Amino acid sequence: MRIALGIEYDGSGFCGWQVQAGTRTVQGCLEPALAKIADHPVRVVCAGRTDTGVHALGQVVHFDTTARRPLHAWVFGTNTHLPPDVCVRWAREVPADFHARYRALRRQYRYVIFNHSVRPALGTGRVAWDYRPLDVAAMNAAAAHLLGEHDFSAYRACACQAKSPVRTVYRLEVRRRGDYVEMDVEANAFLHHMVRNIAGVLMAIGAGERPPHWSREVLALRDRTLGGVTAPPGGLYFMRVWYPQAYDLPQAARDLLI
């Protein structure tokens, strides 16, 4: 039997998603907790691996099990064995052809910036901070250049191991909510540090250090070393994954309130 789960976590205390010896990771906490409910070792596959300090409201995973449990047991039972900064939000039985990563149609990330002259205290590790006044209109003008299918080599980490740098961005929007500036981006898939590198470029443009067309110029260079600063991880949230409707999975995460 294959089970899909919706996972939420505060990434501040984790060294990313993937299991690594000697470090605290989300996968490293989740698998032992699930194993206690399944009564056998469990290996999970996620929709998108997140880096150190990155959060998630709508991460999706799947695993295979021989254990027959009511769906609420995979939620509430597992949560009793998880630390406070990670939880299972829902569980569904899915067909054997479901795959959390390869069946995903698109993914959404949100980058949250506290835009104020004084740094935040309560938002430490959960928002990025930029003291420079950010021009949201200029950031949206720059974002428009990144829509569609492109080679995003200039927006991925130098150590990125993806076979192809080509990705399709369906939506990239920036909005202001009081002292917070939020960037939402949806794409078929993402490269390593892609969202944080886009955020870094748009923040420089929003601060008036570069013109809006700089985002297009960086894209055309296809060289990460000539791009902008990588924005810090604390402001990044994995919000949502879309799957074919036939799987009947919850499609929306709860809204993010800082």
Residue numbers annotated as active site: 51
Evaluate whether 12 touches 26 at the Cβ level (below 8 Å).
no
E strand residue ranges, the chain: 2-9, 45-46, 55-64, 86-94, 106-115, 128-130, 148-151, 166-177, 180-187, 236-242
Half-sphere exposure in the Cβ direction for 129 (13 Å, CA): 12
The residue assigned the tokens 């993402």 is 190
152: Cβ–Cβ under 8 A, 6 or more apart, which residues? 165, 166, 167, 191, 194, 219
Concatenate the DSSP letters of all residues of 192-227 into one string.
TTHHHHHHHHHHHHHTTSS-TTHHHHHHHHT-GGGS
**What is the DSSP secondary structure assignment for residue 15, as one 8-state letter?**
S
Q: What are phi and psi of 238, to 5 degrees?
A: -85, 110
Q: Are strands 128-130 and 106-115 parallel, antiparallel or unpaired?
A: parallel
CA torsion 206-207-209-215 (nearest 10°) is -20
Evaluate whether 149 touches 165 at the Cβ level (below 8 Å).
no
